[in-house]
Structure 1
Amino acid sequence: MIEAKLTALVTIAVIFYTILLSFRVGALRGKTGVAAPATSGHPTFERAYRVHLNTVEQLVLFLPVLWLAVPVVGDVWTAAIGVVWLIGRVLYAVTYTRDPAKRGAGMLITLGATLALMAITVVGVARGFMA
């Protein structure tokens, strides 16, 4: 039985969102004529591709600290920060797709949520060593 049900739901939502981004890239390959293995050729495709890859890159940092934070601050707070991360990713995708120069807010929200979870985890580990 999973104790951190809300964090599990956030994890599933984040993975589902990442899968949707990959489907979008696949659909845009056909629509824009960018055949695999090419990763460039049409600006709309390139933006979708970068949004997807950047999200995958951020997942590598986010998911471990998401789950490491649960025992420190609990399921509700961890899941809430995870939702903030997901909102940041959606904002990043929308702004990057429209104008890559305006992706900053979404990226800062994403990074802030990841750094908050990392700080929570570091505090928890430090407390564990002091106990």
Structure 2
Amino acid sequence: MEPVLLGAVTILALLEQAYFSLQVIYARRKYKVSPPNTSGPPEFERVFRAQVNCSEYFPLFITALWTSGIFLHQGLSCVCGLLYLYGRLQYFWGYAASSQGRLAPLYFCAKALWALIGCSSVGVVLSFCRMYLKVDLLQITASALR
């Protein structure tokens, strides 16, 4: 299996992170907040916090995306990944507009991320059982459902 879809979603995620960083640079210029300062007008602070929050979750997202894609299903993982990225973009824009604007997209992102973490966990457990215990849980489950 070539992880082309996983790579494409990863590149898209990197571009999104770059966009968020650029928005902080633009906000610094607009509101005259020089580095290393992280406080200023509320409009700047919301953009800054949105970018920082998105960056904090980025390693969790990338790890869950790739683990899920390699061990369970690349397509399903990429769909969840795209939903997460869409939610993060909505989160960023919502937070930049008002602190309340971040809440609905934040919950949406959390669901997409938990789906990826769940898929990762299931994929690793299934692979572990198949490789080391010589037990194919999917085959056993399919047989039991017949």
TM over 0.5: yes
Query: Secondary structure at the residue paired with 1:89?
Result: helix
The answer to whether residue 40 in structure 2 is matched with residue 41 in structure 1 is: yes
- Aligned equivalents of 2:102 and 2:119: distance in 1? 26
Highest CA radius of gyration, 1 or 2?
A: 2
What's the counterpart of residue 124 of structure 2?
125
Q: TM-score, normalised by structure 1?
A: 0.92
CA RMSD of aligned residues (A): 1.4
Consecutive aligned runs of 4 or more in structure 1 exceeding 4 Å deviation: none
Structure 1 gaps of 5+ residues are none
Q: Quick one: percent identity of the two aligned structures?
A: 31
CA distance in 1, matches of 2:28, 2:125: 47
Render the CA deviation track for 1:49-95: whole Å, top value 9, x for unaligned. Answer: 11110110110211001000112332221111110001110110121
Quote the Cα distance in structure 2 between the aligned partners of 1:77 and 1:51: 27
Q: Which residue of 1 aligns with 2:24?
A: 25
The 3-state SS of whatever aligns with 2:10 is helix
* Partner of residue 105, structure 1: 104
Alignment correspondent of 1:74: 73
Task: Give the letter aligned to residue 110 of structure 2.
Answer: L
2:13 and 2:110 map into 1 onto residues whose CA distance is 15
Shift of 1:112: 1.0
- Number of residue-to-residue matches in the alignment: 130
